[in-house]
Amino acid sequence: MIKMLHFATILAARPANRRWRLQSHHPPFLRFDHGGHVVLLIAPQRKKQKEQQKMISSLSAGDEVLLAGGIYGEITSVRPDRLVVRIGDNTKVEVEKAFIHTVVRKSGQTGDQK
């Protein structure tokens, strides 16, 4: 009860024309209150997502890929929502397109090219 009365007297003593505002004691270059976080954090992530989407949309049968789990394989067929990847002589797995980490070699290229 005493704390509430003390807070009420502080509010009553505050001039009406002054606003409450938080002040930071950090230098301006350490604060992200001016939209800098959009440029520094979000924009590079968007660029990376667009590149990943472009890479996934250009996948075709015969491409050698690295899956997110560290498994190398060759795409045997492309379906609208997933890929069939051969990871061994008699082993094929179906994976979602989002699990493709990188394209190691495009179909039609030799092993030396990238």
CATH of domain 60-108: 2.30.30.100
For the question of whether the overall pTM of this predicted structure is more than 0.85, the answer is no
Short-list 94, 67, 65, CA closest to 82 = 94
pLDDT in tens, 37-80: 666 778 888 899 999 999 999 999 999 999 999 999 999 999 99
Farthest CA pair distance, the chain: 82
Judge whether residue 90 has pLDDT over 90. yes
Domain ranges within the chain, ordered by starting residue: 60-108
